[in-house]
Amino acid sequence: MFQISTMEGLELVSSNKIFGGYQKVYSHESSELKCKMNFSVYLPPQAEGGDVKLPVVFYLSGLTCNEQNFITKSGFQRYAAEHGIIVVGPDTSPRGVKIPGDDESWDFGVAAGFYLDATNEPWTKNYRMGSYVNKELYDLVLQAFGNVVDGDRIGIMGHSMGGHGALVSTLRNPGLYKSVSAFAPICNPTQCPWGVKAFSGYLGEDKSKWAEWDATELVKKYDGPPLTLLIDQGAGDNFYVQKQLLPENLVEACRSAGVPVILNLREGYDHSYYYIASYIGEHFAFHAKILKA
């Protein structure tokens, strides 16, 4: 049986057996976001009995997604089970807080939290996804799953807006994550339409605040433990063609700063979960090599 530490306020929403482990979804009241939030946890078969502590990888989803997209579409559980990695996936924004205008567009507000801490009203109270992921949920996982989680072996990955979140979370919090990778990340949000729209709304017009949540800007001054960034990009991705993602900007900044970076450009692949499912195994192998070294 899979046992977790009892924790008041943590409610099991669903549990499904897959590849010998269990894909679970929990809900809890978030103090950072001031609303109820769901998050997913995959416990691989190696977690059974709680006799060994396993590495963890957080996965951050993209625009319009919630905690369900990755766990139902990517097929990651096969590789997490193979490598013995626990996988945690939060939702992408606060839900049900009913801020005027939060549901008027698909790329801002609900399902578009951009994994930052808003400083512009009326978003400051609830839109604190940066602190939610890297403090509240991070600590909750260590506490609730402490009998199976190795707190010294934690990585992070994401897709699109979530790829931005994974990169920024790592660069803003040196040492918190030992490994990081991203599928089609928004690499330079201060220079693309998605980022300009989101940052203007959440952070206001002071562009010095924008740079604090931009991976390309952050890597220029990174001063933390050795780190290799793995970036995966479909060459047939319309958002890549439309200059929303700008991975080359990040690669150039990494090389200037001496931060190792790998950019895999995948011919013919788009922005969808078909693409993610095709290469998710390589990403788990990358994280496993670092986290299990």
Q: How far apart are CA 85 and CA 108, in angstroms?
A: 32
DSSP state of 135: I
Give me the catalytic one of 28, 83, 159, 271: 271
- Where do the DSSP E strands lie in the chain? 11-18, 21-30, 35-43, 54-60, 86-90, 149-159, 179-183, 229-234, 261-266
Round the CA-based radius of gyration of the chain to a whole number and report it: 18
Q: Which residues pair with 26 in a beta bridge?
A: 12, 39
DSSP reduced 3-state for 176 = coil
CB 91 within 8 A of CB 37: yes
160 is catalytic: yes
| Positive or negative: CA dihedral 267, 272, 274, 276 | positive
Give me the catalytic one of 30, 40, 93, 160: 160
CB 231 within 8 A of CB 251: yes
271 is catalytic: yes
Q: Counting Cβ atoms within 10 Å, is residue 226 exposed (0-12), middle (13-18) or buried (19+)?
A: exposed
**Helices (H), ranges, 124-246:** 129-131, 138-144, 161-172, 193-203, 207-211, 215-219, 238-241
Q: Which amino acid is at 39?
A: F
CB 158 within 8 A of CB 176: no
Peptide bond into 260 cis (omega under 30): no
The alpha carbon of 85 is separated from its chain's Cα centroid by a whole number of angstroms, namely 16
Cα separation values, 43 from 106, 112, 120, 164, Å: 32, 27, 38, 25
Give me the catalytic one of 117, 237, 283, 287: 237
Catalytic residues: 160, 237, 271
